[in-house]
Structure formats: structure tokens, C-alpha cells
Amino acid sequence: MSDALAGFLTTLDLVDTGARTTEDIFTGPSQSMPNGRVFGGQVLAQSLIAATRTVDDDRAVHSLHGYFLRPGDASADITFAVDRIHDGRSFTTRRAQAYQNGVPILSAILSFQTEDSGLEHQVEMPADLPGPEELPSAVEVLSAVDHPVARTWARERAFDMRHVPNPIYFSVEGEREARQAVWIRSLGTLPDDPALHRAALVYASDYTILESVMRRHGVSWARPDLKMASLDHAMWWHRFARADEWLLYTQSSPSASGGRGLALGRIYDLGGRLIASVAQEGMVRVKD
């Protein structure tokens, strides 16, 4: 197992403080980041793990709606308070709040459901995209770049990401379309815990989704005047898939205005099943 993946798993190994008032209290570490701020996907995944700890084993998360309230400090631990809002016959609802220094940095609502059957359909997976083995990995693209952010992306991320048509780390090549696709999987085998795979998926879903906004306007990550922050994040799990197997993450942006961009995503497995849907609005600012 790589050091990056081991660190990722450590981040999700929350400590149950044993405190029981009106909420269940957990604590967890933050991953080091070049900008000193907590990665949004990390605190989403940790909130999911915390909420899952308070739910019966026969219920799996099917939706998460989270608001990022303020930047988190990547050098400090995070406290998670879970409110057991509702326990029904089929559905369970939890509110998870993440705190640092007594101040909330994320507020999320999560819904869990028992296994059920019913009507089924899905939007089909795009059929004309290259497979992951035909594309360069982030490590191959970034390993020769002498920059702290490039080193972090190349060596310290727990997930492999392969862009279609190409990454926008340094420049935006080709047509400026508000859409792209990214193949993702963890850099190593994960434990068999289904909740961990769902948490890994929401973690990875925050990496690249706003790139559909950036690509449309020719904005790369290297642009010095770029200021970005996730404002909210929603995810719906439709079917189960392992996060250590290749998944196709299609992304598009229907609108950008007022210094904000909206991005939508769909995640498919290699068999073409729609695993999850994602929506995020982010602050995206560049100088005119």
C-alpha cells in the first residue's frame, strides 16, 4: 500500500470520543495541503464516516448535501458532531457538523436507506471515450514538474486520475467546452468495507468537478490570479461500486455567473452502470 493511500485511510479512521449528549462526537486528523487549507473532499468523506457510525448496518448512504461554511486549517484536527435527526422503517437521516476551534467549517445532511427494489433506469455511459489504460496518469504528467503543488498532486494523492481529453494543470488545450471526463480509482486496494468505498467516492468526487467551469473559459490551475473554493457539494449514490476499480467521472457545467460556477457529474463503472451523481457550486474568480 502506498504512503498516500495509507494516509488517506488514517484520515478516515475517526476516533469515537464516547460523548453522548444530543449528538455523537468524533474526531479526525487533517491531511497536509500545500495551501494550508483542508481539502473539501476530505471533510465530506469524514462526515460520511461519522454519520455512518451512528446508523444500523443494514442502511447505506444514498444522498449527501453539504455546505462549506469557512476554510479549514489543514494543520489542525477536526471534530464531528452527528445529530440523529430521524430513524424510520426504511430511511435514516443524520446531520453532521464539522468543527475546528469550536467554529463550524461544514454542515451536511445525509440520508441512509435499507436495501430495496423498485423501478430502474439510468442515463447511459458515453461510449466513445478512451479507456484509462490509453491515458497518462497524473504521476506521469506531473512527476517532472518542480513545484510543491505538482509534487503533492503527483505523489501525495491517494487516487489516480486520467483526463479526457487532457488535464488542465498548466494550460487548456483544444476546444473550450464546459465538459470533460476523468477516470478515477484509488492507488491500491481498499478494505472491503462498503461504507469506506462510498466515502472514498465522495472524497475523489471533489478533486476535478469544477474543472468543467475552468475549461470552458481557458483557465488552468497554474493561472496565478485564479481563486477557487467549493461552496456546496451534493452526491447521490445509485448503485454500489468499489473505489479501487476504474470509474468514469463525466463532468459538465451548465452555467457560470456572479463569480460562481455550477458543475454536474456522473460516475460510471466499467460495466456502464451509473454509480453516482454529483453537483457542486464553487466560487471561481479570475481578474478581468
Residue 242 CA: distances (Å) to CA of 36, 78, 112, 136, 192: 30, 27, 18, 22, 8
Q: Look up 280 and say whether it is catalytic.
A: yes
Number of Cβ atoms within 10 Å of the Cβ of 141: 20
Q: Three cell numbers at 48?
A: 460520511
Helix crossing, 3-12 with 194-205: angle to 10°?
Answer: 110
Annotated catalytic residue within 230, 252, 253, 277: 230
The residues with which 185 forms a beta bridge, in sequence order, are 160
Residue with grid cell 444522498, as numbered in its chain: 63
168, 187, 190: which is closest to 178 by C-alpha? 168
Q: Is 128 among the catalytic positions? A: no
Alpha-carbon Rg of the chain, whole angstroms? 18
| Cell, residue 99 | 468543527
CB atoms within 10 A of CB 45: 26
Output the CA–CA distances (angstroms, integers) from residue 279 to 113, 117, 135, in the order listed: 21, 25, 26
Which residue of the set 160, 206, 232, 244 is catalytic? 206
Q: Is 192 a catalytic residue?
A: no
Q: What residues are labeled active site?
A: 206, 230, 280
